[in-house]
Amino acid sequence: KPIIISQTGAIRLFGINRPNKKNALDSASANELAEALEEFDNNEESHIGIIHGVGGTFCSGFDLEEIAKSEGDSDRLPHFGAL
């Protein structure tokens, strides 16, 4: 699973779990993280959110492999306004 969510009390952890890609976000993981953050924002039981990387790297950015596949068409790439 690319995004691992856990909660202890009022603290919610969001783990980016793509260590083989140095936790680079692709469209699917970025959308999943954005949805999880939106749900967190609307959850009255969660007061602190912490985003972290699994496997020793926080996040190396966007997955360059997916950018290469877009062939320069920016409409095929996700927009990260929610993040």
pLDDT in tens, 60-74: 999 988 878 877 666
pLDDT in tens, 16-47: 999 999 999 998 999 999 999 999 999 999 99
Architecture category of domain 3-76 in CATH: 2-Layer Sandwich (3.30)
Q: Which distant-in-sequence residues (6+ apart) come within 8 Å of 19 by Cβ?
A: 53, 54, 55, 56, 57
- Taking the model in full, what pTM does it have? 0.84
62 strand-pairing partners: 25
Question: Taking the domains of the chain in order of start, what are their residue ranges?
Answer: 3-76
